[in-house]
Every structure is written in C-alpha cells, then in structure tokens.
Amino acid sequence: MKVHATALVDSGAQLGNDVEVGPYSVIGSAVAIGSGTVIQSHVILEGSVHIGERNVIGHGSVIGGPPQDLGFKPETQSTVIVGNDNVIREHCTIHRGTAEGTSTQLGDRNFLMAGVHLGHNCRIGNGVIIANNCLLAGYVEIDDNAFIGGGTTFHQFMHVGRLVMAQGSSAFGKDIPPFLLAAERNFVFGVNVVGLRRAGFTGAQRDEIKRAFKLLYKSGLNLRQALEQAAATEFGPLGREFFEFVASAQKRGILPYRHAGERDE
C-alpha cells in the first residue's frame, strides 16, 4: 500500500493490498478499496463507497457525494458500488443512491472519460465506454458494451440497451433498444452493424437483429401490433432480447426511427 503524505485517509477506511493513494486525496471512513486500485491526486471518496480491484480513479474525481436531489436527507444510508478493472478519468462525479438502502452501480471493465457525471441510482453494466462530458441523470441504466459519444445527455429513468452506439452531442429522453445507432435528439438511425461485427456477431446473428429492427420500425405496424407480430414470429435469442427490451420500455417509451437523410423542417 502506498499513500502519499498529503492524502487524508480516515482510520475507518479499508484499503486492500497494493492500493495507491495520490497527493491531496481524501478517503472517508465508510470507503472500501480493493487491491491494486490506484487513486490519483485530489480525489474525494466520501460516504459509503465500495470499489473493487484494479481500478484507476483519475485526478479530481468525486465518488460517493450526496445526490443532487432536493428530497435527499443527509442521514440516508445509500452507496456507490464500483466493480473491477474500471478506468475513471479526470474530474468524474458519481453520486450515491438517493433512497435508503439504494446504490449507484458501475460494473467491470468500463471506461469513463474525463468529466463524466453519473447521477444517483445509475446502473452501468460491463465494458461500457462513456466519452468526455456525458451527463446521466438519476436512475439511468446502460447495458453491456454500449458506446456513448462525448457531450451526450440522458434524461432520468432512461434505459440504454447493450451494444448501442450513441452519437456525441446528442440528447435522449426515451429508451434505446439494444444493438442500435442513436443520434441527435431522440432518434435511432439503424442497426449498429460495425459494433456488432467488432463484438464477434456472425452474419446470421446480424441478419436476425436487422429483421427485428425492420419489424419494429419499418413494417408500418404500431408498437402493440409489432410486439404481437414478434410474439408470433420465430426469432432466435437476439431477436427475443430485442423485443423483450421493447416490451419492458413502459415508463418512457422507445426512441422513434428517422432515416439518415431526414431532417427537421
């Protein structure tokens, strides 16, 4: 364990083997840090924070701060949970849960670039890349291996499916089904074919996802009719995953489709 002389580490904090704490960082009493994790300079870990192994927490990041919720009570016992092998770059903020016993969660092998904000009760899966200055409001969920372009904003209670690619400088307020390209303000533009190839999806698997996309967005059916048709169609696991996500998107609904050549009048 290597703790810089200027760092403030509370005696109640739990630090694993080979943890490094950089200059002027502050580690609170309810913080637990797994072995091999590097805390760079001017980092603040406050409240109940559980960080796994082999993470890198960048300069000036704040993890475990109280949520930006006017109804939050300081005595609320809530948590931030960070998995293993994450890279959290400079000046990221991750707030703890807003209700008693809840948590904000970051899985494994994620890459949060500089200036990312995860609001209270966000849940990020595994292998997600979130580029610079993205803002996630409370209760946003992002599933495995999604890529979020820089400067993108997400409304509270949104759900982003796995292997979604979201264009930078976009804004979203509805759920984004898995495997799709999303951009601009609340639109999908097609299937994330390049991302699927890179993830090792076969041609047959990509074709199944394209077939599901066409049924939902290009068949002329409304959402209810498309879900009924999907239930009567023999889809494999990926098609079923796609429509199960769509069927569960009841709180905010799903993004509509826009052809790449279309623009607002």
Provide the pLDDT for residue 166: 98
Tell which phi-psi region holds residue 3, choosing left (phi > 0), alpha (psi between -120 and 50) or beta. Answer: beta
Query: How do residues 85-129 score in pLDDT, each as one tens digit?
Result: 999 999 999 999 999 999 999 999 999 999 999 999 999 999 999
Q: Is 79 exposed, middle or buried (CB count within 10 Å of its CB: 0-12, 13-18, 19+)?
A: middle
Choose among 117, 120, 126, 111: nearest CA to 152: 117
Provide the pLDDT for residue 257: 97
* Sign of torsion over alpha carbons 252, 258, 263, 265: negative
Q: Quick one: tokens of 21?
A: 């704490």
Assign 3-class secondary structure to 200-231.
Answer: CCCHHHHHHHHHHHHHHHCCCCCHHHHHHHHH
* Sign of torsion over alpha carbons 218, 221, 224, 230: negative
Provide the pLDDT for residue 250: 67
Provide the pLDDT for residue 32: 98
pTM of the complete model:
0.96
Q: Round to whole Å and give the CA distance between 120 and 156.
A: 10
Q: Round to whole Å and give the CA distance between 102 and 76.
A: 9
Query: How do residues 211-264 score in pLDDT, each as one tens digit?
Result: 999 999 999 999 999 999 999 999 999 999 999 999 999 678 999 999 876 554
Q: Round to whole Å and give the CA distance between 147 and 145.
A: 7
**Angle CA 72–78–83, to nearest 5:** 135
Structural domains of the chain ordered from first start: 2-139 (2.160.10.10), 196-248 (1.20.1180.10)
Strand, helix or coil at 240? helix
Q: Round to whole Å and give the CA distance between 192 and 160.
A: 13
Q: How far apart are the first and last CA of the chain?
A: 60
Q: Round to whole Å and give the CA distance between 147 and 195.
A: 9
Provide the pLDDT for residue 265: 36
Query: How do residues 168-226 score in pLDDT, each as one tens digit?
Result: 999 999 999 999 999 999 999 999 999 999 999 999 999 999 999 999 999 999 999 99
